[in-house]
Amino acid sequence: MADNINVEISPLSRVEGHGDLVLNVKDKKIERLIFRIPESPRFFEAMLVGKNWDKPSHITSRICGICSVAHTYASIRATENALDVVPNDMILKLRKLIFHHEIVQSNVLHVYFLAAPDFLGVGSVIPLVETHPEVVNIALRLKKMANDMVRIIGGRAVHPIRTVVGGFTKLPSEEEMYQMKDMLNSAYADLEASIAVFKILELPAFERETEYISLSNKQDYAHYDGNIKSTDGWEIDPGDYLDRIKEKVVEHSTAKHCWANRDAFMVGAISRFNNNYDQLSDKAKEYAEELGLKAPCYNTYMNNIAQFVEVVHSVDDSIKLIDKLLEEGMDESKAMVEIKPKAGRGVGAVEAPRGLLIHDYTYDSDGKIKKANLIIPTGMNYGNMEADMNAIVPDIIERSEDEIRLACEMMIRAYDPCISCSTHFLNVKLINK
Amino acid sequence: MIDRKTDIIRANIKIIGFGNIYMSDDGIGIHVIKELEKLQYFEDFELIDGGTSGIDLIFHLQNSNKVILIDAVDAGQDIGEIILINPDDVKEFITGKGKSYSLHSFDLSEVLKLTKKLGLNKKLTIIGVKPENIGFGQSLSPVIKKKIHHIIAVIKKEIGSWHQEKK
């Protein structure tokens, strides 16, 4: 390799000249390594001010097409906590059921369409259609199943409309509950087939222990609710998140970096896995073992495998939830609980597919938002991403610039970062134009 | 004699709007769907607010005879100009430099490349309008808002052409 290298990677494809990863090596030593993403939810925070309590979940659902259920529930839970609304057990089970399927939708696409092509050496999902059609077909079938689950419960496959503060505007019918159970049972063949695919993937043997933070509770593998827990031994009520999760301004970035017990921490599938391994279903544990994923895991690249293991758990747990709901009966008259607007502050913390997501709202006595603070998982991961790349680059410094670039790209991708989904404006060149 | 409703259901045409209503003109597709929902002419059609989850286009194509997609599109035309695109006419879906880093940059361009590879693009027509502003904002630019009724006329014409071809 050359002694000096300069790598710039721009994930934000439409922002020319905006290096989101900048790596300069001089005399085989890292001179500068910066990771920055300009995306920020600040506009949405400002938009929420003055909105009535029934509006924020629908507005924040539009922040992201991939995490729309997570934003919906972080928002609903923040509002319910502020207004002292306590949903009943049926509502909670149905919420956990729909939540599982955003995890499935997102994890499946990330693992099969974005991470697997790297490890299978084809670069992107487009050539994968020819080289590994079975991988594309498995991913599409699992994604379709999860879409149908979200659509049946939430009324739409993305940006659900039936999930509201206080409960659901409409419940799925008993027939739809059985239909969902059949769909889930038919997913097992694809999960089984996936094991063979993931076994041949060679993930880099990189390890760097950090602080892993996620939700955690005694009842289940926490996605929808729980305390905020750290592998460094602390656990808090989400309402106290400001006591532990701090933000700091760093010289090179417009986005603040988060820290807790150390300089940086990680959120996402691997943090959930490390904190809540015991709560996984037996099959998910079995698959984890078969794929070499053990808790605690300190290899960031294994986040991809943890995401797959979570898909298995979500399918298993969904069947359990449906069985319980059918056994206890779905009573439309209990679909909503009473809501009385009042002044107060509420924090909603959930696990988005890519990690801990916090909405923090303060309401006035008319039930209108006075102040909103949204903390997204990618913002929490910035510092850890930089620390990981600072750790891996010296180990591979003898390799070619292209190989170093690929290792850094794969590292960023392993985090499944939320970069920019706010616009989907299409840019094309037409023939003869 | 088959009634209109049955005819529409059998035709299995989906009309989908993509975009973000909080990113100004990027939301044109969603605004058009909201307008169609008010019109009797479209009451038996499947109208879909696709939000910003472009990948789901694949499932809509797999489960229909025809998909009409409305979105903000820059194909080199003037701001506000409406353009009808058959994916076969597209030389290049521009995704910028580099590969996708996350699902969030796995955008509609990538999805359209994938639909082409999966042989699903023949069923698709894209109706695009070039946006003026795609920054944060809750409303459409006046020049784009004025185009909603033109877009609806183009959708009706496209449905008519499809029926003619099938006869």
| Angle, CA A292 vertex, CA A290 and CA A295 arms, to 5° | 115
Nearest-angstrom CA–CA distance, B121 and A40? 34
Nearest alpha carbon to residue A111 among A384, A265, A379, A309: A309
Pick the CATH number of B4-166 from 1.10.10.10, 3.30.310.80, 3.40.50.2300, 3.40.50.1450: 3.40.50.1450
What H or E segment, with its residue span, contains residue A68?
helix A68-82
> Domain ranges in chain B?
4-166
> Which residue on chain A is closest to B59 by alpha carbon?
A144
Write the secondary structure of A185-228 as one string of H (helix), E (strand) and C (coil).
Answer: HHCHHHHHHHHHHHHCCCCCCCCCCCEEEEEECCCCCCCCCCEE
| Across A265-274, A288-297, B29-38, B121-130, least confident range | B121-130
Block residue for tokens 């100009």: B81
Nearest alpha carbon to residue A347 among A271, A237, A421: A237
pLDDT reported for residue A429: 61
Higher pLDDT, A130 or A31: A130
User: What integer is the mean pLDDT of A277-299?
Assistant: 97
8-state DSSP, A336? B
CB contact under 8 A, B95 and A13: yes
Nearest-angstrom CA–CA distance, B159 and B4? 13
CA dihedral of A305, A308, A310, A316, whole degrees rounded to 10: -140
pLDDT in tens, A294-320: 999 999 999 999 999 999 999 999 999
Nearest-angstrom CA–CA distance, A107 and A308? 7
Higher pLDDT, A402 or A424: A402
Q: State how far the alpha carbon of B30 is from the alpha carbons of A192, A239, A378, B51, B89, in Å.
A: 38, 35, 27, 7, 24
User: What integer is the mean pLDDT of A214-224?
Assistant: 97
Distance between A374 CA and the closest CA of chain B, angstroms: 16
> Which residue on chain A is closest to B53 by alpha carbon?
A65
CB count within 10 Å of CB B63 equals 12
> Which residue on chain B is closest to A62 by alpha carbon?
B20
pLDDT reported for residue A36: 67
Alpha carbons within 13 A on the beta-carbon side of A230 = 20
Instruction: Decide if B19 contacts B34 (C-beta within 8 A).
Output: no
Per CB-CB distance under 8 Å, the chain B contacts of A409 are: 98-99, 101
pLDDT in tens, B100-142: 344 444 567 778 888 888 888 889 999 999 999 988 888 999 9
User: What integer is the mean pLDDT of A39-61?
Assistant: 88
8-state DSSP, B103? G
Q: Which of the residues A42, A136, A428 would you substitute to probe the B interface, choosing the one with the greatest number of B C-beta atoms within 10 Å?
A: A428
pTM, two decimals, is: 0.91
pLDDT reported for residue A145: 97
User: What integer is the mean pLDDT of A366-372?
Assistant: 96
Cβ contacts of residue A402 below 8 Å, gap of 6+? none
Architecture of domain A42-384: Orthogonal Bundle (1.10)
CB contact under 8 A, A428 and B93: yes
What H or E segment, with its residue span, contains residue A142?
helix A133-154
**Chain A contact for B78, CB < 8 A?**
no
pLDDT reported for residue A158: 84
User: What integer is the mean pLDDT of A351-367?
Assistant: 95
pLDDT reported for residue B100: 39
pLDDT reported for residue B106: 59
The pLDDT-based confidence of B34 (bands split at 50, 70, 90) is very high
Nearest-angstrom CA–CA distance, A388 and A390? 5
CA A273 to chain centre: 13
Q: Which of the residues A18, A105, A119, A426 would you substitute to probe the B interface, choosing the one with the greatest number of B C-beta atoms within 10 Å?
A: A426
Nearest-angstrom CA–CA distance, B73 and A10? 22
Cβ contacts of residue A208 below 8 Å, gap of 6+? A298, A300, A387, A388, A391, A392
The pLDDT-based confidence of A333 (bands split at 50, 70, 90) is very high
Instruction: Name the token pair of A246.
Output: 């701090």
